[in-house]
Amino acid sequence: VSDVHVRLSVGGESYALPVENVLEVAELGDLATVPGAGGAVLGVCNLRGQVLPVFDLARVFGIAGATVPARLLVAEHDGRRVGLAIEDVTDVGTLPAVEEATDSEFLVGAALDDGHLVGVVDVGRVFAALEREARP
């Protein structure tokens, strides 16, 4: 496991995901909504012939979303693949050590980078939350 992380902005805040969980980043294109699914499910999209569920990451994190997601981050964990709608990817690289503890269930902790707080995402927990959020 490397300590290289993909840095992204979600709901105006900064987060980081381990690079090995990130498959690709693309434009957030057309989605088919899935009526009956939970509110965090934006829909499904066609990723080169595969049907990919897309979640609103800001909503999963509970950030009152003032911003509109424009990019799609394809994440994988435990053989399961999802699209996460985010504002943008800001950087890929090593992260300063995690110093700040947080009480968020989705974060391993937070790192202080150049005076900014970066939430380091616990991918397993986020996927478990997605599973809950998928239902109405």
Partner 1 sequence: VSTGHDSQFIDIFRDEANERLDTFVETVLALESGTADAGAIDSLFRDAHTIKGGAGMLGLDEVRALAHGVEDVLANVRELGTFPLELAEPLLRAADALRAQVAGTGGAALDVLDALAEGQASLEQHEPSLVDMVGSPRGPSERRAIRVPAEKIDRLLDLVGETVLHRRRLEHVLGGGRDEHDESVSDELDHGERLLDDLKDAAIEMRTLPLSSIAGKLPRAVRDIAAELGKDVELTLVGAETELDRVILESLSEPLVHLLRNAVAHGIESPKQRKKAGKPKQGSVVLSAKQRGALVAITVADDGQGVPPDVLSDAAGASLVEVLTRPGFSTASEVTDLSGRGVGLDVVKRHVESYAGSLEVRSEPGVGTQITLLLPLTLALLDVLLVERGGQVYGVPLASVEEVVSVRDTLSLQGRPALELRGNSIPLADLADLLGATAPPLAEGSPAVIVAGQRKIAVVCDRLLGEEEVLVKSLGPLLANVGGYLGATILGDGRIALLTDPNRLGSARRSRVEARPAGPAERLAPKVLVVEDSFTVRELQRSILEAAGYRVVTARDGKDGLDKLGREEDVALILTDVEMPELDGFQLTESVRANPATASLPIVIVTSLASDDDRRRGIEVGADAYMSKRSFDQQALLETVERLIGR
What is the contact surface with partner 1 in residues (CB under 8 A)? 30, 32-38, 41, 44-46, 48-53, 78, 80-82, 124-125, 127-128, 130-132, 134-136
| Cβ count near 76 (within 10 Å) | 15
Tell me the closest approach of the beta carbon of residue 116 to partner 1, in angstroms.
28
Tell me the closest approach of the beta carbon of residue 27 to partner 1, in angstroms.
14
CA 61 → CA 4, 49, 79, 114, 118, distances in Å?
22, 29, 22, 23, 14
Tell me the closest approach of the beta carbon of residue 63 to partner 1, in angstroms.
21
Q: Which is nearer to partner 1, 79 or 115 (CB)?
A: 79
Between CA 6 and CA 120 the distance in angstroms is: 10
Q: Which is nearer to partner 1, 48 or 97 (CB)?
A: 48
Q: Which is nearer to partner 1, 87 or 133 (CB)?
A: 133
Between CA 105 and CA 48 the distance in angstroms is: 33
* Residue that is written with structure tokens 């088919």 in the block: 32
Tell me the closest approach of the beta carbon of residue 106 to partner 1, in angstroms.
11
Q: Which is nearer to partner 1, 82 or 110 (CB)?
A: 82
Q: Where are the beta strands (DSSP E) in 39-136?
A: 41-47, 50-56, 71-77, 80-86, 88-94, 98-100, 107-113, 116-121
